[in-house]
Amino acid sequence: MRAATRRGLVDELGEHATAATPEDAARAADLVVASISFAAHQTLPAGALAGKTVRDTMNFHPDRDAPPPAELVVGTATETELVQRHLAGSRVVKVFNTIYYTH
């Protein structure tokens, strides 16, 4: 049976799983991969991620992340530079980037 709640999933997985807030998970993590929509990057817990290397898999998608930040429109910053600005105490590295096949 598939768990309908986070608590149910943790209970189903047993001793190998725990539930935590994003901040708690960030503090405890040895490896951090940020895989959220670009529009939500400012919700990443900057304090908890300070001193860590954050792997950034985010890409701006107009249908999901609009309106775009002005820096992206005029080309003065990339998505990852904006993530790095938010996570000033972390080292942000772009990974698993994609480009649409027609480009």
Instruction: State mean pLDDT over 3-24.
Output: 86
Q: Taking the CB of residue 48, how many other CB atoms lie within 10 A of it?
A: 20
Q: Looking at the chain, which runs of residues are DSSP E strands? A: 32-34, 53-56, 91-94
Residue 66 is classified by DSSP as: P
Residue 97 has pLDDT above 90, yes or no: no
**Total count of residues recorded for the chain:** 103
Residue 33 has pLDDT above 80, yes or no: yes
pTM of the model: 0.81
Percent of the chain with pLDDT over 90: 61
